[in-house]
Amino acid sequence: MSRTERVGTGPTDETFESVYDALETERRRTEAERRAFDAFADRVADVQPSGARRGSDPDRGGTAAASAIAAPEPTFVSAPSAAASPLEAVRTAYEETVMSLPFYEDEYGDTYDESLREEFGPDVAAALTQRSAFGPPVKRVLLAKAEEARSERKLLLESCERERESIEDAAAALLPVAEGLRSLEAIGFDAAEPSALDAYGARLSALRDTCERVAAARQATIREHRATYGRATDTLDLCEYLYQPLPSTFPVLNACGALTRRIKDCEGRIELAFDPERSA
């Protein structure tokens, strides 16, 4: 892991608010990227391949890749003039849609060539930057790759929604655990009767069971993300990708671990209250 995880003492409302904020930021950016690739594909569909007569483009609206792309919302600049070469038109379209997003520089900070390689692969990048012609085969592949990029964003949006539901379930379970544990930690066990100590121990055991249940559910969700989500880089899985700005890339598991440690400490105090001589 590229950074040190902060252990913390357990979840608070602010803990989960920071998680929700990170998810919402990613959702907004991903939706903007999805629309940008829609707009880019729409612009590319209008580009005449090199050497083609106007009105005779066999790929204009005719391929499965092109027809699968929905028309974007009118939030991007208009198409370039007909005087631009096909490759210039494609570059302008990409720069004025995908690379014009307000967060693009901070999020990616790459060049046109680098972005093409990252999104569409080295072959398409080379075809768009190292050749002098934009033929029908390149156009077909580019439209298909643009659809793949759009689909990846759609998958990430779905993953963000599932992740938020999982976080909400965890918050509903763990925040009461944290509140109940604070109450138990404030008790002076040394003065308690054995029957009361038994009751406190049972409450702690129930809190521990809740932490274990939430941790197991989160681990299942993380495994599901890893099995279904393919956009993350080679070094980051989905949670690491989503929660890079936070103290922990696995905030729920971190909270479960912190609460469990506090529960164990409290249980140790109860054991000492039953047998004070053990502390000597």
Residues 92 and 80: beta-carbon distance below 8 Å = yes
Give the count of alpha carbons within 13 A of 273, CB side only: 20
* Gap between the Cα atoms of 56 and 49, Å rounded: 10
Q: Are residues 158 and 102 in the same domain?
A: no
In this prediction, residue 232 carries a pLDDT of 43
Q: Does the residue 121 lie in any domain?
A: yes
Domain end call among 152, 182, 215 = 152
Q: Does the residue 12 lie in any domain?
A: no
Cα angle 155, 148, 126; round to 5: 140
In this prediction, residue 30 carries a pLDDT of 96
For residue 101, the 8-state DSSP code is S
Number of structural domains (the chain) is 2
* Gap between the Cα atoms of 228 and 231, Å rounded: 10
Q: Token pair 């494609």 is at which residue? A: 90
- In the chain, the percentage of residues whose pLDDT exceeds 90 is 69
In this prediction, residue 8 carries a pLDDT of 57
**The token pair that represents 251 in the structure block:** 């905030």
Q: Are residues 174 and 108 in the same domain?
A: no
* pLDDT score of 79 more than 80: no
Give the domain range for residue 122: 31-152
* DSSP annotation string for 107-151: HT---HHHHHHHHH-HHHHHHHHS-S---HHHHHHHHHHHHHHHH
* DSSP annotation string for 191-216: GS-HHHHHHHHHHHHHHHHHHHHHHH
Q: Are residues 123 and 42 in the same domain?
A: yes
Q: Token pair 């096909």 is at which residue? A: 86
Q: Are residues 266 and 241 in the same domain?
A: yes
In this prediction, residue 77 carries a pLDDT of 47
Average pLDDT over residues 112-123: 96
Residues 146 and 41: beta-carbon distance below 8 Å = yes
Q: Are residues 118 and 205 in the same domain?
A: no
* pLDDT score of 195 more than 60: yes
The rounded mean pLDDT for the chain is 85
Residues in Cβ contact with 54 at an 8 Å cutoff, skipping those fewer than 6 apart? 48
More confident call, 69 vs 246: 246
Q: Are residues 138 and 205 in the same domain?
A: no
Q: Are residues 139 and 172 in the same domain?
A: no
Q: Are residues 158 and 258 in the same domain?
A: yes
Residue 116: band (very low, low, confident or very high) from pLDDT cuts 50, 70, 90: very high
Domain end call among 152, 177, 192 = 152
* Gap between the Cα atoms of 149 and 39, Å rounded: 12
Residues 243 and 232: beta-carbon distance below 8 Å = no
Long-range contacts formed by 269-277: CB under 8 A, 24+ apart: 269/189, 270/189, 270/197, 270/200, 270/201, 270/204, 272/189, 272/190, 273/189, 273/190, 273/192, 273/197, 274/194, 274/197, 276/190
Q: Are residues 111 and 135 in the same domain?
A: yes
Q: Are residues 190 and 146 in the same domain?
A: no
Domain end call among 152, 176, 209 = 152
From residue 198, how far is each of 70, 170, 192, 270, 271 by CA, in Å? 64, 28, 10, 9, 10
Q: Does the residue 263 lie in any domain?
A: yes
